[in-house]
Amino acid sequence: MEANSNSTTPTNEDSASSNDDGNSKKDDEDYSTPLEIGQHYLIRRNDDQWYPGEIIHRREKEQNGHMFEYYVHFEGLNRRLDEWVARDRIMSSQFAVQNTCAVKNPNDPSSVQSNGNGSGSCETRKVTRNQKRKHDEINHVQQGIEEMDPTTAALEREHEAITKVKYIDKCQVGRFEIDTWYFSPYPEEYGKQSTLYICEFCLKYMSLEKTYRAHLQVCTYRQPPGKEIYRKGTISIYEVDGRDYKLYCQNLCLLAKLFLDHKTLYFDVEPFLFYVLCQVDRQGAHLVGYFSKEKESAEGYNVACILTLPPYQRKGYGKLLIAFSYELSKLEQAVGSPEKPLSDLGKLSYRSYWSWVLLEILRDFRGVISIKDLSQMTSIAQTDIISTLQCLNMVKYWKGQHVICVTPKLVEEHLRTSKCKKPPLLVDNSCLRWEPPKRSVNNGKRK
């Protein structure tokens, strides 16, 4: 999903000199003694603030005189911000985790800062369960394990146990060196390299830069395999069948997992179609992002997985992929919805797109319109329409059904906000060359 690209790999700063920000380290500290996994400490992030965090893993890597470096998770922050840090970024005394506050100077209690609640302190406010649900829905807060049902919680714990340590810090894709966010199950000899080199055209992955440079001289790919089904200016989209181009699609999934937390499709790609978005120039079609979808989805999903690579995020490509998925659904005369769960950043992109589409219709429509009508017009699932309108305070539950309640003024107010603004890139249907495949069953057909 579309996301903030400001993730950073750890920097091994030498903090031995004393200063007023609490970064000083005693010369006689014993960095050769390993810290225990599972213990909590104050840990300095790259913004020079100290956060409570947990030691997840450690590895021997003598660097700046330190025998070990540690993989840490910062309490209250997304796992994509987990990172390897040098020993000098970890306070020597253990920390009792009572909150998720940032601390500018660990030696000064007055420097405690709120981490996201806007209160300036770490005191929690009592809220009702309904208030919390509404807050989490509007602000796209993901459920904690303790809030999940037992089965989902067990699966989430298993997922975290398998994927909690990220070894690949960076990947070189084309001209971009990209900081990775999550673990990806590359084969052992590649999966524990600090930097992975990936050909942006064929997606072959390599562990050595010299091998990568040599490959670029002989690679004959200059675009994704499959059929180009959309071209407007320098933007191109290819449809790639996982059955026909299995290795390419598997490599695409492994690359995507570096930036997606909840992704389980890596190798069984044959039941899926992949729609690969590229920026085209004289050198070829450069990978920007993609979405995949099942050829036959019993649940009516029109997207199984969606990603925009970090260098291309916040430029409208994510919403272009979302819009494209719904244009295909319209041609299929089907109603679609993305497969859940969405990432926090995915929710933001989808909610923004749904809001803009629905508000544009409501602004120009005169008369009576229902949730079902909106779904028929947009191919957006009714459940997604209801949740979006609830966030916009535009729907009420009355006499057993959801009723849209809007005024022209309210619509215009929402359209002026950044969350509901017109996407910078839109699908031009005249540039789309695609027909829906013939199906043996009418999954997801409009009724």
Give me the active site residues, please: 339
The DSSP H or E segment spanning 402 is strand 401-404
- Do the beta carbons of residue 142 and residue 348 sit within 8 Å? no
Backbone dihedral angles phi then psi of residue 4, each to the nearest 5 degrees: -70, 125
- Do the beta carbons of residue 321 and residue 289 sit within 8 Å? yes
- Do the beta carbons of residue 412 and residue 363 sit within 8 Å? yes
- Inter-axis angle of helices 344-364 and 382-391, to 10 degrees? 90
- Do the beta carbons of residue 82 and residue 166 sit within 8 Å? yes
- Do the beta carbons of residue 289 and residue 317 sit within 8 Å? yes
User: Would you list the DSSP string of 309-358?
Assistant: -GGGTTTTHHHHHHHHHHHHHHHTTB-BEEPSPPPHHHHHHHHHHHHHHH
Q: How far is CA 283 from the centre of its chain?
A: 28
How is residue 45 written in tokens?
A: 């992030």
Q: Give the Cβ contact number of residue 121 at 10 Å.
A: 11
The DSSP H or E segment spanning 215 is helix 209-218
284: left (phi over 0), alpha (psi -120 to 50) or beta: left
The single-letter code of the amino acid at 188 is: E
Inter-CA distances, 101 with 44, 270, 292, 294, 394, Å? 12, 46, 38, 42, 35
